[in-house]
Chain A
């Protein structure tokens, strides 16, 4: 889920007229001092990081003077909390706290509706309070059509034993919180604590909002870079992978880098699953053999070969992995030979140098396995392929054996692809198909025309050309099945090539190799 920083959440609350402490953001110690001067008096300096328990890690501190605010900010900026580097601090007026409350909105799967929660005891340890003092916590299912009525919010607060003017004001704040949650499509939105000051004013002193990943596209104003649940900023590879996913709607491509700064021999595996359930079991099979995960990748929902190709190349960009393990549910409905061609193109181009076990069970698996096995002799590292009757456990065992054996073939480096003498090109949805018709003239099989999944090629004077318009190919009639390159390489003369750039990947790889 896409999390918002405290200060971003508070801005949204402010737009709904919810009072928040006066303050501002600082990226440098000097800015922090200036803010403290403007605010006057004691301030709080709060590290902006997507983690819980900031206070105990020194991420929330009091500063009595502008000078102290500066030095506190200096310590905080750049510090790492749970892998997250603090780049900004929030400097706020310090409140004289009389009493604290809690308010939250969450989508509850049991109610299948938004549920509003209010507690007359707030602050740290709210979960325990909720368990131990049931009388202090009230909850209410919201009718998604009608929304939360102000009187419902007031009655919710009443049920926790609050009365009078405080009840009225807290009810207003709860109503506003729901409106923020609904408008920005929050999976959760919380104010903890709501503070009543000694001079009887109400403030949202902290705020946590996570926006529904699937709704982020409707809220460009939030400036969310990657709509994914991260408890740290995304890595360069994650940014690149997310761009691939964001620009190609076909199938799912989910990429998380699970480890950073590791090298060969430490047991990190590039893990590439398909479908959540099968991936979890496949990861368990690796973990039980004392391997560690370098990546978690999911290509499922019938992705094109080109997407699997890009995913595989992104995984192989991590120079420290000891093996490549692709394994999903075992009985997939998607036609598995598409993924097989994607893997083969990636493994051949990048000359895979660590053992790989690819389990592509399911629809058309025989063809998928054949495509992978056919490529194995041309890849330096051992490559094995399995189907639905081989368990994830067995396949993990095979990878373990291959890694321990360590047999990497000495293969001559392939000569670079020559400039086509008689080029024929057309654009696919995310790349370019390039033929050298001079080579096609020497091809007897014309395998590309026969194996093109969408049958969009025909022979003209013995040369493969499109039988549809260039626009239709680009718009998606070409599904990037990669037969015109992979089948052509193994069964034809090698005149077909599909150029599938991944923006930023080559630069990123150079950087990773230098490290």
Chain B
């Protein structure tokens, strides 16, 4: 099994006729993702990589059949409208690729998604990839690269950095450790599926035996994962690395930030909190594969 994406999910690409949309549609299709429709207002009737293009998401749904996922390659200022269109049409999972989406637009999308029972990855995400099953977004860049870098296995990967998502999975694969799914939660302060939501999905996936997480300073995502572990809502072994130790602290928070965070968000705070609840936090990024191997060995894998 895997989370979020496999070879059966029916995928729509919004902005399929743009530079990135076209290039990544090829990657997704060649890797095995079931891309069934594209959407660009004003460009309906054509096709990209053999995939029919429609003017609206509803039209795509009516013509091409039900859609499980929409991947958005849309200029940031237009993302809100495109995301609301997909949510209103009934799509339950969105992957919002672009960066620089205004934060209040993200909050509006969050609210709409919540109401509709939908969820989204991103914005500012490289996407999601389940080895040998499917990819949403641009992880791997080319299908051939993605195939040579990743293979299926027992580890779920979740990361706040796009490049590190691939890097962790690649370095794990070099040590013979495969993955169920890789998730880049997105680089922004507020994202649709932050670490705590992703580990809950991994908890429910029987094939995921352990989770590897790349955290960063700022936000409270890693602390929330620790809270879930403490509450017994996430019970699988967690191997984590927190980036940003050298970054100067204290510069980005306002008074309000300090009041809200109350000392959370720092490198030290995250490492301590995660260790407290039993996570394996490595001090050096290069130690992740070894630590993961040891954790899996204890599980008899």
- A→B interface (CB under 8 Å): 1, 102, 104-110, 112-115, 117, 126-127, 130-131, 137, 139, 143-145, 182, 185, 187-188, 190, 192, 208, 210, 212-215, 217-218, 229, 231, 249-250, 252, 274-278, 280-281, 283-284, 287, 300-302, 328-335, 361-364, 388-389, 391, 393, 476, 479
Q: Which of B141-149, B204-212, B231-239, B292-300 forms contacts with chain A?
A: B141-149
Which residue of chain B has its CB nearest to the CB of A188? B254
Q: Are A331 and B256 in contact (CB under 8 A)?
A: no
Q: Are B104 and A277 in contact (CB under 8 A)?
A: no
Q: Are A113 and B107 in contact (CB under 8 A)?
A: yes
Would you mind naming 13 contact pairs between A and B with Cβ atoms under 8 Å apart? A107-B107, A127-B259, A131-B262, A212-B104, A214-B76, A252-B99, A274-B163, A328-B163, A329-B163, A332-B166, A335-B142, A362-B166, A391-B286
Q: Which residues of B in the span 92-141 have a Cβ within 8 Å of any Cβ on A?
A: 99-104, 107-108, 110-111, 126, 138-141
Q: Which residues of A lie under 8 Å from residue B246 when comparing CB positions?
A: 280, 283-284, 287
Measured between alpha carbons, how far is A278 from B170 in the docked complex, in Å?
14
Picked from B77, B141, B221, B256, the residue with its CB within 8 Å of the CB of A109 is B221
Picked from B161, B174, B221, the residue with its CB within 8 Å of the CB of A276 is B161
Which residue of chain B has its CB nearest to the CB of A281? B285
Q: Which residues of A lie under 8 Å from residue B244 when comparing CB positions?
A: 280
The 10 A-B residue pairs whose C-beta atoms are closest, nearest first, are A329-B163, A277-B161, A275-B163, A363-B141, A104-B256, A333-B141, A277-B164, A215-B102, A106-B256, A331-B167
Which residue of chain B has its CB nearest to the CB of A102? B255
Would you call B153 an interface residue if the criterion is a C-beta within 8 Å of the partner chain's C-beta atoms?
Answer: no
Picked from B99, B161, B189, the residue with its CB within 8 Å of the CB of A107 is B189
Would you call B220 an interface residue if the criterion is a C-beta within 8 Å of the partner chain's C-beta atoms?
Answer: yes
Measured between alpha carbons, how far is A302 from B110 in the docked complex, in Å?
27
Would you call B21 an interface residue if the criterion is a C-beta within 8 Å of the partner chain's C-beta atoms?
Answer: no
0/1 per residue, B148-160, Cβ < 8 Å to A? 0100000000011
**5 additional contacts (CB under 8 A) given A104-B259, A329-B162, A331-B163:** A104-B256, A278-B161, A333-B126, A333-B138, A333-B166
Picked from A1, A192, A278, the residue with its CB within 8 Å of the CB of B164 is A278
Q: Are A188 and B140 in contact (CB under 8 A)?
A: no
Q: Which residues of B lie under 8 Å from residue A363 when comparing CB positions?
A: 140-142, 145
0/1 per residue, B180-212, Cβ < 8 Å to A? 000000010110001000000000000000000
Interface size, B (range):
35 or more
Q: Which residues of B lie under 8 Å from residue A278 when comparing CB positions?
A: 161, 163-164, 167
Which residue of chain B has its CB nearest to the CB of A146? B111
Q: Which residues of B lie under 8 Å from residue A389 when comparing CB positions?
A: 174
Q: Which residues of A lie under 8 Å from residue B162 when comparing CB positions?
A: 275, 277, 300, 329, 333
Measured between alpha carbons, how far is A214 from B98 in the docked complex, in Å?
12
Measured between alpha carbons, how far is A188 from B257 in the docked complex, in Å?
8
Smallest CB separation, A250 vs chain B (Å):
7
Smallest CB separation, B272 vs chain A (Å):
18
Which residue of chain B has its CB nearest to the CB of A213? B100
Q: Which residues of A lie under 8 Å from residue B61 when comparing CB positions?
A: none
Which residue of chain A has its CB nearest to the CB of B188? A214
Q: Which residues of A lie under 8 Å from residue B108 when comparing CB positions?
A: 144-145
Would you call B20 an interface residue if the criterion is a C-beta within 8 Å of the partner chain's C-beta atoms?
Answer: yes
Q: Are B167 and A388 in contact (CB under 8 A)?
A: yes
Q: Which residues of B in the span 7-26 have a Cβ within 8 Å of any Cβ on A?
A: 19-20
Measured between alpha carbons, how far is A467 from B189 in the docked complex, in Å?
44
Q: Which residues of A lie under 8 Å from residue B160 when comparing CB positions?
A: 277
Q: Are A110 and B224 in contact (CB under 8 A)?
A: yes
Measured between alpha carbons, how far is A330 from B167 in the docked complex, in Å?
6
Q: Which residues of B lie under 8 Å from residue A362 when comparing CB positions?
A: 141, 145, 163, 166
Q: Are B190 and A112 in contact (CB under 8 A)?
A: yes
Q: Are A108 and B260 in contact (CB under 8 A)?
A: yes
Picked from B75, B159, B245, B259, the residue with its CB within 8 Å of the CB of A284 is B245
Picked from A208, A287, A476, the residue with its CB within 8 Å of the CB of B19 is A476
Q: Which residues of A lie under 8 Å from residue B77 when comparing CB positions?
A: 217-218
Which residue of chain A has its CB nearest to the CB of B159? A277
Q: Which residues of B lie under 8 Å from residue A476 when comparing CB positions?
A: 19
Q: Which residues of B lie under 8 Å from residue A274 when comparing CB positions?
A: 163
Would you call B54 an interface residue if the criterion is a C-beta within 8 Å of the partner chain's C-beta atoms?
Answer: no
Q: Are B256 and A190 in contact (CB under 8 A)?
A: yes
Smallest CB separation, A368 vs chain B (Å):
12
Q: Are A334 and B141 in contact (CB under 8 A)?
A: yes
Which residue of chain A has its CB nearest to the CB of B135? A333
Q: Which residues of B lie under 8 Å from residue A281 when comparing CB positions?
A: 243, 285
Q: Which residues of B lie under 8 Å from residue A117 when comparing CB positions?
A: 256, 259-260
Q: Which residues of A lie under 8 Å from residue B78 when comparing CB positions?
A: none
Q: Are B163 and A330 in contact (CB under 8 A)?
A: yes
Measured between alpha carbons, how far is A105 from B110 in the docked complex, in Å?
18
Measured between alpha carbons, how far is A427 from B17 in the docked complex, in Å?
23
Q: Which residues of B lie under 8 Å from residue A137 when comparing CB positions?
A: 259
Known: A190-B254, A275-B164. A144 touches B141 (CB 8 A): no
Q: Are B103 and A276 in contact (CB under 8 A)?
A: no
Measured between alpha carbons, how far is A227 from B83 in the docked complex, in Å?
25
Q: Which residues of B lie under 8 Å from residue A212 when comparing CB positions?
A: 102-104
Smallest CB separation, A248 vs chain B (Å):
12
Which residue of chain A has its CB nearest to the CB of B245? A284
Known: A330-B167, A333-B139. A126 touches B243 (CB 8 A): no
Measured between alpha carbons, how far is A250 from B163 in the docked complex, in Å?
18
Q: Are B102 and A276 in contact (CB under 8 A)?
A: no
Smallest CB separation, A321 vs chain B (Å):
19
Which residue of chain A has its CB nearest to the CB of B194? A109
Picked from B107, B164, B170, B256, the residue with its CB within 8 Å of the CB of A388 is B170
Which residue of chain B has its CB nearest to the CB of A231? B251
Q: Are B107 and A185 in contact (CB under 8 A)?
A: no
Q: Which residues of B lie under 8 Å from residue A106 when comparing CB positions?
A: 254, 256-257, 260
Smallest CB separation, A329 vs chain B (Å):
2
Measured between alpha carbons, how far is A280 from B245 in the docked complex, in Å?
8
Q: Which residues of B lie under 8 Å from residue A302 when comparing CB positions?
A: 20, 138
Q: Which residues of B lie under 8 Å from residue A213 when comparing CB positions?
A: 100
Q: Which residues of B lie under 8 Å from residue A364 when comparing CB positions?
A: 141-142, 145
Would you call B258 an interface residue if the criterion is a C-beta within 8 Å of the partner chain's C-beta atoms?
Answer: yes
Measured between alpha carbons, how far is A252 from B188 in the docked complex, in Å?
14
Measured between alpha carbons, how far is A334 from B104 in the docked complex, in Å?
29
Q: Which residues of A lie under 8 Å from residue B126 when comparing CB positions?
A: 333
Which residue of chain A has its CB nearest to the CB of B142? A363
Measured between alpha carbons, how far is A210 from B221 in the docked complex, in Å?
22
Q: Are A185 and B163 in contact (CB under 8 A)?
A: no
Q: Which residues of A lie under 8 Å from residue B75 when comparing CB positions?
A: 249
Measured between alpha carbons, how far is A335 from B160 in the docked complex, in Å?
21
* Of listed B101, B219, B244, residue having the most chain A CB within 10 A: B244
Would you call B216 an interface residue if the criterion is a C-beta within 8 Å of the partner chain's C-beta atoms?
Answer: yes
Known: A143-B111, A275-B164, A278-B161. A104 touches B255 (CB 8 A): yes
Known: A109-B190, A330-B167. A127 touches B255 (CB 8 A): yes
Which residue of chain B has its CB nearest to the CB of A392? B285
Which residue of chain B has its CB nearest to the CB of A104? B256
Measured between alpha carbons, how far is A276 from B160 in the docked complex, in Å?
9
